[in-house]
Amino acid sequence: EAGVVQSPRYKIIEKKQPVAFWCNPISGHNTLYWYRQNLGQGPELLIRYENEEAVDDSQLPKDRFSAERLKGVDSTLKIQPAELGDSAVYLCASSLEVRTGAFFGQGTRLTVV
Amino acid sequence: AQSVTQLDSHVSVSEGTPVLLRCNYSSSYSPSLFWYVQHPNKGLQLLLKYTSAATLVKGINGFEAEFKKSETSFHLTKPSAHMSDAAEYFCASSSFKTIFGAGTRLFVKA
């Protein structure tokens, strides 16, 4: 069975440009997460979905970040416009529920120059 | 408030010696607790989880962790380190949301 799939793996963009990340979770996993991981730090939750509903987006910078999970399966995370401080690894994860532990994708390493 | 503290940013052991990675948590509710491992340029992999069943939890690759409510700790151990264990380890707590610690980098010397 395929794990969590993310694309692209790497992205380099100039500041003020838009960027989008895509995630396909494990089949049957209702819960989907987007995390941001800065160098030398643990992942920080940006948003959590239960099916197609965003149930926790308290840490999502809503002025520039947006996310969607249409039909409760795939998800897209967008940044517009990107800033230098957005350089990080963006991780997608999925789980059956919050208390069962999550399966992570390999992440997208974003560099904003 | 919910928080996770990993007490050591770096741990160095010799191959074949025991590993101890320390984690303390704070939560108003009984959390689920997890340990994840992250190898360079790889995603996080779940090592083990505690979800209010047995307090001693066994995971993959010979790792185990013990939940101690009185000490609010969930330390990760392994009897004998292998070179392949060298990686970053993250402790996480889930009640209403999942919070990760800052990570402990494990070095294994030959």
Per-residue pLDDT reduced to its tens digit, A15-54: 999 999 999 999 999 999 999 999 889 999 999 999 999 9
| Chain B residues closer than 8 Å to A33 by CB | 98
Does residue A66 register a pLDDT over 70?
yes
Give the single-character DSSP code of A59: T
Q: Residue A80 and residue A97: Cα distance in Å, rounded?
A: 30
Q: Do A33 and B32 touch (CB under 8 A)?
A: no
User: What is residue A97's predicted lDDT score, i.e. its pLDDT?
Assistant: 81
Distance in angstroms between the alpha carbons of the first and the last residue of chain B: 41
CA distance A104 to chain B (A): 6
User: What is residue A34's predicted lDDT score, i.e. its pLDDT?
Assistant: 97
Stretch (H or E) spanning B38:
strand B32-38
Q: Can you tell me which residue has the tokens 């999970």? A: A69
CA distances from A10 to A91, A108, A110, B16, B41 (A): 12, 5, 6, 37, 11
Percent of chain A, pLDDT > 90?
A: 83
Does residue B28 register a pLDDT over 80?
no
**HSE-CB of A20 using CA atoms within 13 angstroms:** 7
- Report the SS3 class of residue B91: strand
CA distance B32 to chain A (A): 6
| Chain A residues closer than 8 Å to B59 by CB | none
User: What is residue B29's predicted lDDT score, i.e. its pLDDT?
Assistant: 79
Percent of chain A, pLDDT > 70?
A: 99
Q: Do A56 and B46 touch (CB under 8 A)?
A: no
Q: For residue A18, count other CB atoms closer than 10 A to its CB.
A: 11
Strands A108-112 and A10-13: parallel
User: What is residue A1's predicted lDDT score, i.e. its pLDDT?
Assistant: 61
Closest to B101 measured CA to CA, from B40, B18, B44:
B44
| Closest chain B residue by Cα to residue A97 | B94
pLDDT, mean of residues B43-56: 89
User: What is residue B1's predicted lDDT score, i.e. its pLDDT?
Assistant: 77
| Closest chain A residue by Cα to residue B6 | A42
Which residues, in sequence order, are CB contacts of B33 under 8 Å at separation 6+?
A: B23, B25, B49, B50, B65, B67, B74, B91, B92, B93, B94
| Closest chain A residue by Cα to residue B47 | A101
| Chain B residues closer than 8 Å to A94 by CB | none
| Closest chain A residue by Cα to residue B40 | A106
Mean pLDDT for chain A overall: 94
Give the single-character DSSP code of A99: G
CA distance B16 to chain A (A): 27
The answer to whether the peptide bond before residue B31 is cis (omega within 30 degrees of 0) is no
Of B36, B97, B103, the CB nearest to A45: B97
Percent of chain B, pLDDT > 70?
A: 100
